[in-house]
Amino acid sequence: MKDDIIYLVLLGSCIGFGQFYRKFTDPEQRKLVGTGVGLLVVLSVSGFHMLHMLFCYLVSALLIIYASRKVCHLACFGFMFGYLFFFRSLSFLGYDAPPGHTNMIQMILTLKLVGLAFEVNNAYTKSKTVADGQKDTAAVAQPSLTEADRALLKLSMLDIFHYSFNYVGVLTGPYITFKTYRDAMYLPFSGKADCIGATVDKLKVIPLYAGLFLLVSYIWPLQYATSAEFYEERSFLYRLMYVWPTFFIFRMRIYTGILLSECVCTMAGVGAYPKLAGSKPGHGPSRDDYTTTATEDSSPLEYDFETVRNIDVINTERCWTFREAMKYWNMCVQYWMAMYVYKRFPSKKYRTLVTLAVSAIWHGVYAGYYFCICGAPFYLPIEDLYVKLFLNDATGQKRTVLNVLCWISKFFAFSYLGIAFLLLTVDKIWYYYSSVYHFGYVLWIVLYGAGVLIAKQRKANARREAKAGQDGAKQD
C-alpha cells in the first residue's frame, strides 16, 4: 500500500500542476518547465536509479540521430528492450532492485524512445518516397512531408530529452507519440479545449473504482491464495472461483491508475484536438488537414482527448467477447504494439504470438506475465470457433443467452489467466493451477476438440445435402 500511496500522491500533484502548466504559452518555456517537473518526479521516486533512464536516453538519442535511419529503429528497439531486461535482472545479479515506480518509468521510456526511432524511420522512408516522386514526372500523386515529418528529420538531443522526461506521462503513461507531444507544445488546442471539464469527468468515477478495489481486496485478498489454509481447508470450487474476485481487484486497481494518468494529460492539455481531426488512442489525428480546418472555421469547435484515452472501462466490462475486450484495454500501448511490432513483423503467421511475447517482455521478467499474456492466443481460437458455430447466426432470445454465456466465458478466461499475472512466480502459479487440476486448460482443450468435431460434422452434413440436391436435380 505504501507504493500505491506514493503513486496516488504523485499523480494527484501532477494533475493539479496541469492548471498552472497550461498558462505557459511560449513553447520553449513550456518545454523547460514540463521537463523540469518530470525530472523532479523521476528523481523523487528513483534516487540514484535515475541514472538508468539518463543512460538509456543518451544511447537511444545517439542511435536515433547518428545511426542510419534505415536501421535506427531496430537498433533502438534491441538496445532498449535489452536494457529493460538487464534493468529488471539487477536483483538476480546481487545489486539493489530499483523501486517499483522506477520500473514503470523505465517501461514508458522504452516505449517513447523506441516509438520515436520508428517515427524517424517512417519520416525518412516518406522523404525518400517524396524525393523519388519528384524525379518521376509521370507520377500522378505523391505524398508530401508534413511539418511533423520535417521536425522528426531534424531532431536534436535536446528535443529528445524534453520528449523523454516531460512530466506528462513520465510516471505511468499513457504513451504519446513525439508528434502528439510536439502538437501540445506548439498548437493552441490546450488553451481552447475544456481541460478542467474533461478531467473532472474522469475523476468522478475514480472514487467508485478505488472504493471497490479496497472493499473487495479486504474481503478476498490475493495473499490468501498463497496461504496454507487456502489449499488445505478450502474446496476445489472455492479455489477455482477465487480467480473472479482477484481479477476484479486487479481491474479496479488498473482502472483507477490509468484514469488518473489520463487526468494528468487532460489537465495539462496534452492530447487535445478538435473532434473533426478524428483522433484515435495513441495515434492522434487521423486527418492531416485538421490544423487548417480548425484555423479557417470561425465557428466554435468541439475538442476531445481521444489521443490519450488509454482505457474504455464501460466497453471492457460489457462487451461479450475476450477478443473485443482486449481492444479496449491499455489502448495506447496496444497502438504501440500494433504499429511497431505487429505490422512490422515479417511473418504474418507468427505476428500475434510475437506481439504478445513482446508485450510480456515489456511487462516484466516474471513467468506469470508469460503464462497470462501468451496464454491469450490459445484461448482466442476457441472463442472464435464457437462464435462462428453458434453466435453469428443466432437471433432473439437465443442470441441473448449465448451472449451471456460468452461474457461469462470471457471473464473466466481473463480471471483464470490473470491469476498467473498476479502470482508471478512459477512455483506459486503451478501450485495454484495444480490445486484446481488445471481446470481451465483442460476445459479449453475439450471445448476446442468438441468445436472442431462439430464444425467437421456440419461441413459433412452440408456436403451430403448438396450431393442429395444434385442427385435430385438429375432425377428430375
pLDDT digits over 398-454, tens only? 999 999 999 999 999 999 999 999 998 899 999 999 999 999 999 999 999 999 999
Residue 162 CA from chain centroid, whole number: 23
Q: How confident is the model at residue 140 (pLDDT cuts 50, 70, 90)?
A: low
More confident residue, 100 or 274: 274
Q: Which of 73, 122, 330, 461 is catalytic?
A: 330
pLDDT for 217 equals 92
Amino acid 264: pLDDT: 95
**% of the chain beyond a pLDDT of 70:** 93
pLDDT of residue 299: 63
Is 363 one of the annotated active-site residues of the chain? yes
Is 283 a residue of the active site?
Answer: no
Give me the chain's average pLDDT, please.
89
User: Is the pLDDT confidence value at 464 over 70?
Assistant: yes
pTM: 0.90
- State the residue for C-alpha cell 442427385: 471
Q: Given this model, what pLDDT does residue 172 score?
A: 84
Given the residues 363, 392, 403, 461, select the one marked as catalytic.
Answer: 363
The pLDDT tens digits for 92-102 are 777 777 887 88
pLDDT of residue 37: 95
Residue 137 has a pLDDT of 54
Mean pLDDT of 384-403: 90
Dump pLDDT digits (tens) for 166-212: 999 998 889 999 999 999 999 989 888 999 999 999 999 999 999 99
